[in-house]
């Protein structure tokens, strides 16, 4: 692996994963860190579109298509890749934040939207912290009962506590 620290931000759709990542990125950058983000899309995303040169190259059988401009570069491969394969190609990064890939082995921040999502706590491995939607904090009795029931052994944060989450990640790297 090329990254010194790889952390997954996992949870169901609309749990705040992207919002948390975009809040954490400036904090890592403020520390002078090189940070990459890898996102798993459960749907078949289309980055290039019919008629574009990159689309035509891929449709014609290219095993690798790269497009670059003065401001960005994108690499397209017409195949799925495992998280480990993607990480092997990321280059030297201090931190890689991975959105999704729930079943992978890297340290995870588990994002919960509501109490229906708490089943994920028992289904996933390497959870290092639980991040709650603020509405869950409005039901302290239910939250306490869940914590006791499953025996929560990791820190629990509100998703609004981005600074605390950042410091927890850095302190536990």
In a domain, 96, yes or no: yes
In a domain, 58, yes or no: no
In a domain, 65, yes or no: no
In a domain, 51, yes or no: no
Q: Which of 2, 4, 28 has the alpha carbon at shortest distance from 91? A: 2
The CA distances from residue 109 to 44, 144, 169, in Å, are 25, 19, 9
* CATH code where residue 35 lies: 3.40.50.300
In a domain, 131, yes or no: yes
| Inter-residue contact 20 to 165 (CB < 8 Å) | yes
At 11-28, the pLDDT tens digits run 999 999 999 999 999 999
Average pLDDT estimate for 139-160: 95
Number of domains in the chain: 1
At 56-93, the pLDDT tens digits run 887 887 777 878 878 888 888 878 889 998 888 888 89
The proportion of the chain whose per-residue pLDDT surpasses 90, expressed as a percent, equals: 66
Domain membership of residue 15 as a residue range = 3-44+82-171
């Amino acid at each position: 692996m090329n990254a010194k620290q790889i952390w997954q931000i996992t949870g169901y759709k609309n749990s705040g994963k992207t919002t948390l990542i975009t809040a954490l990125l400036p904090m890592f950058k403020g520390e002078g860190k090189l940070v990459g983000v890898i996102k798993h899309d459960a749907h078949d995303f289309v980055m290039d579109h019919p008629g574009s040169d990159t689309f035509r190259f891929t449709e014609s059988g290219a095993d690798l298509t790269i497009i670059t401009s003065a401001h960005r570069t994108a690499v397209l491969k017409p195949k799925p890749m495992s998280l480990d394969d993607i990480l092997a190609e990321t280059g030297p990064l201090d931190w890689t934040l991975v959105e999704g890939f729930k079943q992978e082995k890297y340290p995870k921040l588990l994002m919960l939207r509501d109490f229906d999502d708490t089943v994920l706590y028992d289904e996933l491995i390497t959870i290092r912290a639980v991040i709650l939607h603020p509405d869950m904090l409005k039901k302290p009795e239910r939250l306490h009962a869940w914590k006791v029931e499953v025996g929560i052994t990791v820190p629990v944060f509100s998703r609004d506590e981005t600074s605390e989450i950042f410091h927890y990640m850095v302190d536990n790297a």
